[in-house]
Structures are given as C-alpha cells and as structure tokens.
Amino acid sequence: MLEAHDLACLKGDRLLFRGLALHLKAGGLLRVAGPNGVGKTSLLRLVTGLALPEAGEVRWRGVGIRRDREALHRELLYLGHAAALNDLLTPLENLRFACAAAGDDVDEENCVTALARIGLENQLDLPARVLSQGQRRRVGLARLFLSARRSLWVLDEPFTALDAAAVADLATTLSDHCAAGGMVMLTTHQDAPFARAPEVLDVGAYTC
C-alpha cells in the first residue's frame, strides 16, 4: 500500500503544494489531476522517491521510503512523461536496456513479444530516431507487459500521443493490472475508458 501524509513540495523558492495526503491500496487506480504546472509530475517524483518532500512522509507498505527506498523500488515501475529513448538504438535494444537498468531479467523473446503486443512488430529493427511520437511512447509502455511482478505502476501522462485504439488498449491493460491486485497512479489530461472510474486526486486543492 502507498500512502502519503501532509506532503509539501518546494520548487526553487516556491511552495507548490502542502498538506497533501493520498492512500492507494491493492487494486486501486488513482488519477492525479490539476492544471499545467500545479505540481502533478512533482508529486509523482516525491512518491517514487526521486525527490524529497519539504515536509511530510511517503510510506510503502507501512514503512517510510526514506528508511527503505529499495523496498519501494523493487515493486515500482515508473514511466516518466518523456519517452527517454536512445535515438541510435532500436525499440528492441531500448527496451532491453531499460529492463536491464531496472534489474528486470527479461530475454530478447519476451521483449519482442511485448513490443508486438504494443503494436511495434514492424518497427523492431528501426532506429528510434525515425519513430513517430506515438511509437516512441509505445516503446516505453512495452515495459508494462514485462512488469507484472511490479505491483505499483506510476505513469506520467501515459496516454500522450497515443491514438484512440491504443488509449483504449492501455486503459484495459491498466484496469487488468488493478483487477489482479496491482496499483496504478497516473497523470493524464484526457479521459480514458477504464473498467472502473479512477479515484481522483486534485493537486490544485493543496496549492499554496
């Protein structure tokens, strides 16, 4: 279970939000909402331990992540809003590199299957620099099909640049992960056809 209490976020000399609390339990789908610049990405970086809060605490399975960040990271899949690809490498090479860097033991066949599942079967051997924006996004999302053992998926704008069919497919993948007892926390500015309506956390309600 992921919890945060009384979180405050400082950027430069500006307090973006304070007093923010959240609670995400097994099977939960949480949508972080709010206008541009309110602090949604900043919040994701706090709950994933990539940045430190000015005040408050994030807990994973009851333990503060400052005490045991590794316990969270063993079960976390975090996909940022940028595709973070090496343009010289193919989708297959990029995916294998991302998995290896995260410590996931996946072989080439698993990666090919994941890329085909996300609709990139015809782009496996192209350099990433020639991919469309939606295809670049899909390379990162292919990790979802290799990360079932990671219970917490934190996704920053995962639907950006995807076509309608891919949005629907991703919504189903995320809903299935929750139905299997996983947790999803995401930001998005668009509606998606989830099996169950997500809980919504409006960061704007905590703006200073």
Ligand X SMILES: Nc1ncnc2c1ncn2[C@@H]1O[C@H](COP(=O)(O)OP(=O)(O)OP(=O)(O)O)[C@@H](O)[C@H]1O
Q: How far is the CB of 198 from ligand X (least distance, A)?
A: 17
Binds ligand X by CB under 6 A, chosen from 2, 4, 16, 65: 16
Task: Note whether 137 binds ligand X by CB under 6 A.
Answer: no
State in angstroms the smallest separation of the CB of 184 from ligand X.
Answer: 17
In the complex, what is the shortest distance from the CB of residue 51 to ligand X, in angstroms, rounded to a whole number? 10
For ligand X, the closer of residues 33 and 124 by Cβ is 33
Write phi, then psi, for 78 (nearest 5 degrees). -115, 125
- Cβ atoms of 56 and 6 within 8 Å: the answer is yes
Query: Does 40 participate in binding ligand X (rule CB under 6 A)?
Result: yes
Q: Does 193 bind ligand X (CB under 6 A)?
A: no
Q: What is the C-alpha separation between 156 and 127, in angstroms, rounded?
A: 24
Q: What's phi and psi for 7, nearest 5 deg?
A: -75, 135
Alpha-carbon 89 to chain mean position? 22
Q: Which stretch binds ligand X (CB under 6 A): 12-20, 64-72, 159-167, 191-199?
A: 12-20
36 interacts with ligand X by CB under 6 A: yes
| Residue 77 to residue 156: CA distance in whole angstroms | 11
Contact flag: residue 42 with ligand X (CB under 6 A)? yes
In degrees rounded to 5, what are phi and psi of residue 8?
A: -125, 145
**Min. distance of Cβ 88 from ligand X in angstroms?**
28
Q: Is 48 in the site for ligand X (CB under 6 A)?
A: no
Token couple for 68: 């045991």
Distance of CA 67 to the CA centre of its chain: 22
Cα angle for residues 65, 199, 170 (degrees, 5° grid): 90
Q: Is 37 in the site for ligand X (CB under 6 A)?
A: yes
C-beta of 50 vs 116, nearer to ligand X: 50
Q: At 90, which amino acid appears?
A: T
Contact positions vs ligand X (CB under 6 A): 11-12, 14, 16, 34, 36-42
